[in-house]
Each structure stands twice: as structure tokens, then as C-alpha cells.
């Protein structure tokens, strides 16, 4: 039988003679495998380790068995990405990268321990919000642990919003998020007509490493920086807010009925004659709850109705998935990013006056001390009798102004009951020791 001679790489194995005496077709020794992993200084995949040690295709099965044996003997281990590393490297720390505008950054460990400092040279390998595996390499002048990146576990930035900069014929995108402190090179075929100074969205096609900047292609031109509303467009993309509904969710919303099914109205408690009203701030954009109160002996009856969104949005539907992704509506000075498409947020679940709406209702009995003595929940159909504002209602109750129409005049006694009940409930809160924070709400006028 002919025995193949070891390659130059395999020939450097300090225990090659021992392996040749034991095996007809010797593999790299365990010690040499450990040394190779130590020299790499990072986890190494099976394919990469085979390449480093020049393992032939016909040897890979035997080599894999040797690695498994070394795992059993705790000479090496595998991480979640099926890469090999030395056991002493198990002390590596995983976490999320936070960039700093000055070029350095931090690793926020997954285990909640103290953040580690990443100097600018280390930050050249990653972008803000990437996940990485690091090792502690020292302590800085302020006593903080310094770290070196061993492996990038997860890339968090696929698209970045920024301004186009052209220097010496090279197109760059300067990220709006200053925590991403690397400019993104735009591939020659990825400019798509963008001009210097324009705000664009760039898709990263090559992530950064120690020697190269990230490379991307422009996929969206938003306009010039001073264009009206540009700050909102930038904020949406900078903070990765979902502002477009999926086609499936829009399809489900479009398929919803324009009016309430009469059979649904018959199944529910009918409160359409009860003068429930919405009362919100002057600049409110959502009208999703209505109230009614009246004196009952020495106490009150209070009815609170809220739009029954669950009637239209079923579990695990596209509408439900999109709403879960958003979590809430987001309000900008001149724009709202709703949690649900407009067919729901502005129509079916908006409590417009004199329009039948489906609601979940709580009907309460409250005594003279502000204690709830009885309540029940139920599904109802109702209609708001008026859309009012706090300033408007207070002007009527304080006598500073008079209602201007018959509908509002008819509502005045019920508004008085609401105010009386409010005062009793506020006194009950004080008795319980509740804290009332007197804060000033900032309002920006453009």
C-alpha cells in the first residue's frame, strides 16, 4: 500500500512522527488541531478547519470523528453556529454593539453585565446594533473593560438612511444615525440617479470588516434634506419603524364591510339611544372611547365604551401580525403611523358622531365614596352623540361659554354628572394615596 506524504502544512505538525507510527493514513494530531484553533483566535467552521489543515475529501469523515472525540474529551467545543473553538474561549462574551458618534462603541452583554468598550479599530468591523462575540483584552484609563471582536454573530443593518456625498468621483452615503460611524460606499452600478445632498435609503450588499468599508446600493431616493416632512421620513427609516402594511393586511382591510351587519347589531346590547360622547384633546387624532354618566340615587351609573377592534381583527390574521409588529400607533407632528390600516383606524373603529359602531362596554355602579359596587362587561352597538374637547366641555361647565346647539345643550346635564363623578373618584384616589404628577405637556407648532 502506498502512503501519501504529508503536505507542507501537515508536515509542521510537531507530533507527526507519532501519528505516522499509529496510523497508516495519519491525520493532524490533537495538539496540532488545538494549536491551529488557538492561532486563528476565533471560532472556525468544519470546512475552514479542513482547509487550514489541508484535509483531503477522503479524509474528512475520519477527521470529523477525531474532532468528535476531542469534543468528548473537552479538548474543543462547538458554538451555536457549529464552529469549533477552544474551551477556554467559552468565556467569550456575546452581546449587542452600540456605536458612539465619536467612533468608538460598546458591547452590551446578553447576560446584563457591565458594558465593554470597543475602540474605533474594533468598531470598523461592525455597525451599530450588530451582535458580536468578544473577548476581554484589558482595561482602559477609566477602569472599564476593553474588548476585541472575535466573531460577528448577526448583522442588524440591511438598509440605512443617509445623505449622498460625492468625493473625487466616489459616491458615499453618510448615515443619519450618527451611531453608525462608517460611511457606506455605493457600488458604481448602485447610484440610480441620486444627486449629492439628497437623502436616500441604501441597501448594504457587503458588510464591513477590518479592512473594508460597507458597500451598498441606493434603493430609494427620499428627496432633499430641507423638503417638508423629510425629518419624518428619516425618522421612520432611522428607527426602523414599520410604516407600510403588508399586501395581505391591506387585502383583509379592504374586504371588511363598510357598515355593521344588522345581525351583529341584533346580537349585541343596543346602546344607541344612550348619549355617550367622546371627549379628547384639541389635537387628538384617535377617537376610540366614549363615556356616559348619570346620577343614580346617591351614586352614579358610568358607562365606558371602547371600539371593538377584536371583531374585525382575528388572531393570527395578517392584520393581527402587522399590528403586533407595530405594537402601537406612532404620532409625529404632521403625520400618524397607525397600528391598523385606515379602513379600521379612521373608519370602522373610529367613534364618529351619529354613526353606528361596535364596542366593548363596561357598565358600572359607583357609590358616593367613589367605590365600584357593581359592574358588567358586554358587547354592544352604540353611536357617539357628539365629539367634544376638554376645553369645550370645561368652558360650558365653568360658565365661560354656552352650548351653541340643541344637541350640546341636551348633553349638558350628563356632562355635569361626569364632572361630579370625576371629583368623587379623584377624592377616592387621594384617600388611597395615589400620586398625581403635575407635568407640562410640550406642544410643537410648525
State the number of CA atoms in the 13 A half-sphere of 116 facing the CB: 28
Q: What are phi and psi of 143, to 5 degrees?
A: 85, 10
User: Which residues are CB-neighbours of 231 under 8 A, at least 6 positions away?
Assistant: none
3-class state of residue 338 by DSSP? coil
Residue 88 has a pLDDT of 64
- pLDDT, one tens digit per residue, over 329-382 is 998 877 889 999 999 998 999 999 999 999 999 999 999 999 999 999 999 999
Spatial distance between the Cα atoms of 340 and 346, rounded to a whole number of angstroms: 9
Pairing of strands 299-307, 356-366: antiparallel
In this prediction, residues 419-446 reach a mean pLDDT of 88
Positions of CATH 2.40.50.700 in the chain:
159-238
- For the chain, what is the total number of helices (H) and then of strands (E)? 13, 21
Listed range (72-86, 97-111, 261-275, 320-334) with the worst mean pLDDT = 72-86
Burial (Cβ within 10 Å: 0-12, 13-18, ≥19) of residue 419: middle
Q: Which CATH number fits domain 159-238: 3.40.50.300, 2.40.110.10, 2.40.50.700, 3.40.228.10?
A: 2.40.50.700
Tell me the sheet residues that pair with 279: 388
User: CA 53, 207, 148: angle at the middle one, nearest 5?
Assistant: 65
Q: What are phi and psi of 37, to 5 degrees?
A: -65, -40
Taking residue 372's Cβ as centre, other Cβ atoms within 10 Å add up to: 14
68-106: string of b/e by CB count within 10 Å (b at 16+)?
eebeeeebbeebeeebbbbeebeebbbbbbebbeeebbb
Taking residue 209's Cβ as centre, other Cβ atoms within 10 Å add up to: 12
Residue 1 has a pLDDT of 38
CATH architecture of 8-88: Orthogonal Bundle (1.10)
3-class state of residue 148 by DSSP? strand
Nearest to residue 366, comparing CAs of 422, 431, 416? 422
Spatial distance between the Cα atoms of 393 and 278, rounded to a whole number of angstroms: 11
DSSP line for 405-416 = SHHHHHHHHHHH
What percentage of residues in the chain have a pLDDT greater than 70?
A: 97
Q: E strand or H helix at 171, and its extent?
A: strand 170-175
328-351: string of b/e by CB count within 10 Å (b at 16+)?
eebeeeeeebbbbbebbbbebbbb
Provide the grid cell at 217. 446600493
Spatial distance between the Cα atoms of 195 and 435, rounded to a whole number of angstroms: 55
Residue 89 has a pLDDT of 59
Spatial distance between the Cα atoms of 342 and 248, rounded to a whole number of angstroms: 15
The superfamily CATH assigns to domain 92-154 is Nucleic acid-binding proteins (2.40.50.140)
Positions of CATH 1.10.10.10 in the chain:
8-88
- pLDDT, one tens digit per residue, over 85-135 is 887 655 778 899 999 999 999 999 988 889 999 999 999 999 999 998 888
* Highest-pLDDT range among 39-48, 208-217, 369-378: 369-378
Spatial distance between the Cα atoms of 363 and 302, rounded to a whole number of angstroms: 6
User: Which residues are CB-neighbours of 33 under 8 A, at least 6 positions away?
Assistant: 49, 53, 66, 67, 70, 76
Q: What are phi and psi of 430, to 5 degrees?
A: -60, -40
Categorize the per-residue pLDDT at 2 as very low, low, confident or very high, splitting at 50, 70 and 90: very low
Nearest to residue 249, comparing CAs of 165, 160, 318? 318
Categorize the per-residue pLDDT at 436 as very low, low, confident or very high, splitting at 50, 70 and 90: confident
DSSP 8-class letter at 325:
H
Positions of CATH 2.40.50.140 in the chain:
92-154
Tell me the sheet residues that pair with 376: 363
Q: Does position 9 have pLDDT exceeding 60, yes or no?
A: yes
Amino acid at each position: 500500500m502506498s502512503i501519501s506524504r504529508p503536505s507542507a502544512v501537515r508536515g509542521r505538525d510537531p507530533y507527526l512522527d507519532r501519528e505516522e507510527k499509529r496510523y497508516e493514513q495519519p491525520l493532524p494530531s490533537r495538539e496540532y488541531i488545538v494549536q491551529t484553533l488557538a492561532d486563528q483566535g476565533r471560532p472556525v467552521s468544519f470546512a475552514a478547519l479542513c482547509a487550514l489543515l489541508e484535509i483531503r475529501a477522503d479524509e474528512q469523515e475520519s477527521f470529523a470523528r477525531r474532532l468528535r472525540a476531542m469534543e468528548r474529551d473537552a479538548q474543543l467545543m462547538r458554538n451555536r453556529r457549529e464552529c469549533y473553538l477552544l474551551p477556554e474561549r467559552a468565556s467569550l462574551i456575546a452581546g449587542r454593539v452600540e456605536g458612539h458618534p465619536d467612533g468608538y462603541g460598546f458591547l452590551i452583554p446578553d447576560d446584563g453585565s457591565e458594558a465593554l468598550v470597543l475602540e474605533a479599530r474594533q468598531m470598523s468591523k461592525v455597525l451599530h446594533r450588530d451582535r458580536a462575540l468578544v473577548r476581554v483584552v484589558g482595561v482602559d484609563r477609566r477602569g472599564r473593560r476593553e474588548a476585541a471582536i472575535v466573531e460577528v454573530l448577526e448583522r442588524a443593518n440591511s438598509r440605512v438612511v443617509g445623505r449622498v456625498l460625492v468625493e473625487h468621483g466616489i459616491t458615499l452615503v453618510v448615515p443619519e444615525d450618527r451611531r453608525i460611524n462608517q460611511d457606506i460606499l455605493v457600488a458604481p452600478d448602485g447610484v440610480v440617479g441620486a444627486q449629492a445632498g439628497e437623502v436616500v435609503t441604501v441597501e448594504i450588499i457587503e458588510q464591513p470588516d477590518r479592512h473594508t468599508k460597507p458597500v451598498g446600493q441606493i434603493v430609494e431616493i427620499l428627496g432633499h434634506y430641507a423638503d417638508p416632512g423629510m425629518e419624518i421620513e428619516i425618522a421612520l427609516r432611522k428607527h426602523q419603524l414599520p410604516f407600510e402594511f403588508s399586501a395581505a393586511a391591506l387585502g383583509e382591510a379592504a374586504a371588511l364591510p363598510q357598515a355593521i351587519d344588522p345581525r351583529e347589531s341584533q346580537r349585541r346590547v343596543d346602546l344607541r339611544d344612550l348619549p355617550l360622547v367622546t371627549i379628547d384633546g384639541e389635537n387628538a387624532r384617535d377617537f376610540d372611547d366614549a363615556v356616559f354618566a348619570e346620577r343614580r340615587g346617591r351614586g352614579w351609573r358610568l358607562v365606558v365604551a371602547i371600539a371593538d377592534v377584536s371583531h374585525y381583527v382575528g388572531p393570527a390574521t395578517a392584520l393581527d401580525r402587522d399590528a403586533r409588529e407595530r405594537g402601537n400607533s406612532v404620532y409625529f407632528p404632521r403625520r400618524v403611523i397607525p397600528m391598523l390600516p385606515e379602513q379600521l383606524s379612521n373608519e370602522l373603529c373610529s367613534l364618529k358622531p351619529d354613526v353606528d359602531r361596535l364596542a366593548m362596554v363596561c357598565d358600572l355602579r359607583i357609590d358616593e365614596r367613589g367605590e365600584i359596587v357593581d359592574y358588567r362587561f358586554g358587547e354592544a352597538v352604540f353611536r357617539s352623540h357628539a365629539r367634544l374637547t376638554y376645553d369645550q366641555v370645561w368652558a360650558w361647565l365653568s360658565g365661560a361659554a354656552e352650548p351653541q346647539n340643541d344637541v350640546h345643550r341636551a348633553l349638558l346635564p350628563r356632562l355635569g354628572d361626569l364632572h361630579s363623578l370625576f371629583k368623587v373618584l379623584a377624592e377616592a384616589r387621594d384617600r388611597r394615596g395615589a400620586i398625581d404628577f403635575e407635568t407640562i405637556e410640550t406642544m410643537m407648532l410648525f
